[in-house]
Structures are given as structure tokens and as C-alpha cells.
Amino acid sequence: MKIYDLTKNYSVVCEWKDKRSGFTHIATLCLNGVEQRGTKCHYENRTWERFEYETAIKKVIDLEFKDDVEHEYFRKIVKSLV
């Protein structure tokens, strides 16, 4: 399990599960430690992400933040996580 702090209040808890046909990245967005939304990304082989869980984190951000300003703010934070 890995935790990425996005802001003082928001964090993303990430983990992976081994599956028979590959593996799954799971990202859960938390607000002050309370789960808000989760997502999964399944892979059949290696990924070429810039950092581990990148796609799953972007997916949960896209689902949670619909406001353009807020969405762009969090996407910039994810970009800086490298």
C-alpha cells in the first residue's frame, strides 16, 4: 500500500492485487481520512506509467472533480508526484 498526499485534506490510498490474468491497481480518494471514491485499473502485462499507480490516480481524480478549475488543480498535483 502506498499513500499519496495531494493536499492538506486530500490523499489517495493505492494498492495492487495480483490476478490470474495480470494485476489490478486500486486507488481510493480520501478527504480527511474518509473514503470518497475508488477506482480500479486492470493490466495484463507491464505498464509504462511515469510512476506507480499514475493511471488509477488520474482516473479517480477525473471521476471525483467535475469542476474544471478544481479538476485542473488536482491533475497538476498528480503531474508533480513523479
Strand-pair partners of 22: 19
Which pLDDT score, from 0 to 100, does residue 44 have?
87
pLDDT recorded at residue 49: 80
Q: How far is CA 82 from the centre of its chain?
A: 13
Whole-model pTM: value is 0.88
Residue 48: the pLDDT is 77
Residues 6+ apart with CB under 8 A from 7: 77
pLDDT at 51: 87
**Segments of the chain with pLDDT less than 50:** none
